[in-house]
Amino acid sequence: MDLRWLRLASWVETVSLVVLLVNLATAHAAAVASLMGPVHGSAYLATIATASLLPLPRHTRLLTLVPGIGGLLALRRTAAASTAPGD
């Protein structure tokens, strides 16, 4: 199963959240917030949509609903399931 797009969307979602939080804690620049807010929201939705199109277990797909790190959690669960003993 090719998880390339889920991996990309998940990382963009997580990095954009980190940028938003660092901006909030430091300079609180409105330009950064107005640029990264929609990027983060779009990446969040892309992560959910991508996971729903892949043949993943239901619990793994539901993990993508966790904002910020849900995609990475789903990828971790997928990697753990593919390397589980007994496969």
Report the pLDDT value the prediction gives residue 85, as an integer from 0 to 100.
72
Q: What's the pTM value of the predicted model, to 2 decimals?
A: 0.88
CA distances from 39 to 6, 12, 47, 53, 55 (A): 15, 8, 12, 21, 26
Rounded to an integer, what distance in angstroms lies between the CA atom of residue 16 and that of residue 81?
28
Rounded to an integer, what distance in angstroms lies between the CA atom of residue 29 and that of residue 87?
50
Residues of the chain with pLDDT under 70: 84, 86-87
Rounded to an integer, what distance in angstroms lies between the CA atom of residue 60 and that of residue 6?
12
Report the pLDDT value the prediction gives residue 69, as an integer from 0 to 100.
93
